[in-house]
Homo-oligomer: A and B are copies of this chain.
Amino acid sequence: MSAVVKNAKTMYEVFYIEKENNMKKNVIVGQSGGPTAVINCSLYGVVTGGYSDARVDKVYGMVNGIEGFLKGKFLDFRKMKEDGSLEKLTTTPGAFLGACRYKLPEDLDDPVYPEILKKLDDLNVGYFCYIGGNDSMDTVSKLSRYAAKTDSRIRFMGVPKTIDNDLVLTDHTPGYGSAARYVAETVREIVYDAAVYNTKAVTIVEIMGRDAGWLTAASVLAREEDRKNPGYIYLPEVDFDTVTFLEQVKRGLEVQNSLVVCVSEGLHDAAGRLICEYDSETGVDSFGHKMLAGCGKYLERLVRERLGVKVRSVELNVCQRCSAAMMSETDRQEAVQAGAFAVRSATAGETGKMVACRRKTGTYGIDCVLEDVNLICNQVKKVPLEWIINDGSDLAQAFIDYAYPLIQGSVAIPVGADGLPAFIKR
Contact = CB atoms under 8 A, between A and B. Distances in A.
A117 interface: no
A382 to B, nearest CB: 25
Interface in A322-340: 322-326
A407 interface: yes
Interface string A81-106: 00000000000111100111100000
A291 interface: yes
Interface string A296-325: 011001100100000010110111011111
A2 B302 CA distance: 58
Contacts of A305: 287, 289
A110 to B, nearest CB: 22
A361 interface: no
A421 interface: yes
A417 B181 CA distance: 14
B193 A35 contact: yes
Contacts of A185: 325, 420-421
A420 B282 contact: no
A197 to B, nearest CB: 6
B286 A284 contact: no
B188 A421 contact: yes
Interface stretch (A123-131, A151-159, A408-416): A408-416
Given A95-B196, A197-B101, A283-B284, A190 B420 contact: no
Contact of A190 (B34, B302, B318): B318
A314 B312 contact: no
A64 to B, nearest CB: 4
A314 to B, nearest CB: 5
13 contacts: A95-B196, A98-B196, A100-B198, A188-B423, A189-B319, A189-B324, A192-B322, A193-B321, A278-B286, A283-B291, A286-B298, A291-B291, A410-B415
Contacts of A122: none
Interface in A159-218: 181, 184-186, 188-190, 192-198
A289 B283 CA distance: 9
Nearest to A285: B283
Identical chains bound together, number: 2
A315 B315 contact: yes
B192 A94 contact: yes
Nearest to A94: B192
Given A318-B312, A325-B326, A92 B287 contact: no
Nearest to A187: B420
A198 B99 CA distance: 8
Contacts of A319: 186, 189-190, 314, 319
Give the interface centre of A64, A185, A194, A321 by most chain B CB atoms within 10 Å. A185
Contacts of A20: none
A281 B285 CA distance: 9
A386 interface: no
Interface in A136-150: none
Contact of A197 (B100, B222, B283, B404): B100
Interface in A222-249: 222, 224, 226
A75 to B, nearest CB: 14
A193 B420 contact: no
Nearest to A35: B196
Contact of A404 (B189, B222, B419): B419
A400 B199 CA distance: 39
A103 to B, nearest CB: 15
A40 to B, nearest CB: 10
Q: Specify which of A192, A197, A224 lies most central, judged by the most chain B CB atoms within 10 Å of its CB.
A: A192
Given A189-B93, A190-B318, A301-B285, A98 B197 contact: yes
A109 interface: no
Nearest to A198: B64
A348 interface: no
Given A193-B35, A408-B419, A418-B404, A286 B293 contact: no
